Amino acid sequence: MKSYPRIERSMVVPAGLIVLGIMVACGDSGSQKSHEGTLNGLEDSGAGPVVFQPSNLPADICNTATTTDLTVPAGQSVSMNTDQDCDRVIPQGPGLQDICVRIYSTIKIAGTYVANEGSRAGAIVATKSFTLESGGELALTWPGEALGVEPRPGADARGNGTKGSSGATGGGGGGQMTSAGAPGGNSGGAGGPQYGDPTGRQLIGGGYGGAGGPAARPTSPLAIPGAPGAAMQIVACGDLASAGTINATGSDGGHGDYSPEWAGGGAGGGAGGMILIEAAKVTASGGKILARGGNGGPGGPVVWGGSVLLYGGSGGRGGTGASPPTAGENGQTSQPPMPPNQSSGAGGGGGAVGRILINVPQGTSPVLTGVEIDPPAIIGITH
């Protein structure tokens, strides 16, 4: 497993850091219940003072006394484990993962902040301002093919896809609150179901893809399921300015193993995660905010005498804001004069798309210019 240095309380975070968690930036003053008045240039709308209070977190979170800044220079990286690196742990209620919260005065990221380890949902709070510069990234995903079913921040087992039912079948894609995952090929594993309320503010991640069906070889490993994107909240009580990338895309399912008889099925892709941005003022220019589903893995080939006789089926596409996830492609079966009962592996199903929510105080609107947002963000009002 790839590892990154952990973020210590007073350290400068290098660029290239991927962090799974909730990003929160708060203003300079306010009551214990809410943050009111003019916030770093955010003026009263005319209907009374601007009131800002993040969802899920304590009402006084923006008043936390801290002088610690988080700075991530370009070209460097740091990781956050949501089971270990917490200033506060906030329960969400029965059946939901707790929230691991990191609290800073100001946050400025030009590199990569990584939060893709641990089981709790993540949150990072800046009590003054939050800036994600062009080229900077908040990485809430595991890049490339999945590395195994390990805890991922906010992952929800209700959305897990199922394993390929027998040899050469593909695994199902992970589900989310937005939709179900797609099934694996060759009548393989079912996609994870849709669950919960897709408009809810609770920090809930997606499900894992299902493992691929086994190959005929006794020592053949199962294709590794795609991991879901993390559940992360980004809140700014002062200004939140972003020109970089926030990525909670699910990872792709692993490929099926080869065999001289029937090959292994590909694994399902992981569902996209959840990105919840809440701030007194949100300005984004350029950059990306992504929570797409991961692609299913390809099925394994039938190999005999060093030659590929049958190629495996392609993995299904992960879900996006424009299209649902697709099923894995069936594998091929042998035809004369080939030996009978040979079958290549089917592809795994695509993972469901995740959720992106942006909440700002009533009477205000986020300013989003030239930003690629997929799926489209749900714009709401903070408490």
Q: In which residue are the tokens 């996006």 written?
A: 320
Across the range 295-316, mean pLDDT stands at: 93
Does the structure show a pLDDT above 90 at 10? no
Beta carbons within 8 Å of 209's beta carbon, 6+ residues apart:
146, 160, 161, 171, 172, 173, 174, 181, 192, 225, 226, 250, 253, 267, 268, 269, 270, 294, 296, 348, 349, 351
pLDDT of residue 91: 95
pLDDT computed for residue 143 by the predictor: 62
Q: How far apart are CA 332 and CA 262, in angstroms?
A: 10
Question: Is residue 288 in a domain?
Answer: yes
Query: Is there a domain that residue 2 lies in?
Result: no
Q: What is the CA radius of gyration of the chain?
A: 22
pLDDT for res 362? 87
| Within-domain flag for 369 | yes
Residues across the chain:
383
Residue 52's DSSP bridge partners are 35
**Cβ–Cβ contacts within 10 Å for residue 47, how many?**
8
For 153-197, the pLDDT digits (tens) are 888 889 999 999 888 899 999 999 899 999 999 989 999 999 987
The pTM assigned to this predicted structure is 0.85
Pairing state between β 99-109 and 88-90: antiparallel
The answer as to whether 5 is a domain residue is no
The Cα 132–Cα 331 span in angstroms is 44
Contact between 369 and 288 under an 8 Å Cβ cutoff? The reply is no
Highest mean pLDDT among 44-58, 130-144, 212-226, 343-357: 343-357
CA dihedral 295, 222, 20, 275 (to 10 degrees): 30
Q: What is the mean pLDDT of residues 122-132?
A: 94
Q: In the predicted model, is pLDDT for residue 33 greater than 70?
A: no
> Could you report how far apart the first and last alpha carbons of the chain are, in Å?
40
Q: What is the mean pLDDT of residues 260-279?
A: 93
Token pair belonging to 30: 């306010």
What's the number of domains the chain is made of?
A: 1
Q: Are 50 and 58 in contact (CB under 8 A)?
A: no
Q: Does 83 reside within a domain?
A: yes
- Cβ density class 178-205: b for 16+ within 10 Å, e for less: bbbbbbbbbebbbbbbbbbeeeebbbbb
Q: What's the one-letter identity of residue 28?
A: D
Q: Residue 6 domain-assigned? A: no
Of 146-150, 183-187, 279-283, 295-299, the range with the lowest mean pLDDT is 146-150
- Does residue 149 lie within any of the structural domains? yes
4 within domain boundaries: no
* Pairwise pLDDT comparison (32 vs 168), residue with the higher score: 168
- Distance CA(250)–CA(295), nearest Å, equals 8
Per the structure, the complete domain to which residue 324 belongs is given by: 11-383
Other beta carbons within 10 Å of 306: 5
Residue 65 has pLDDT above 60, yes or no: yes
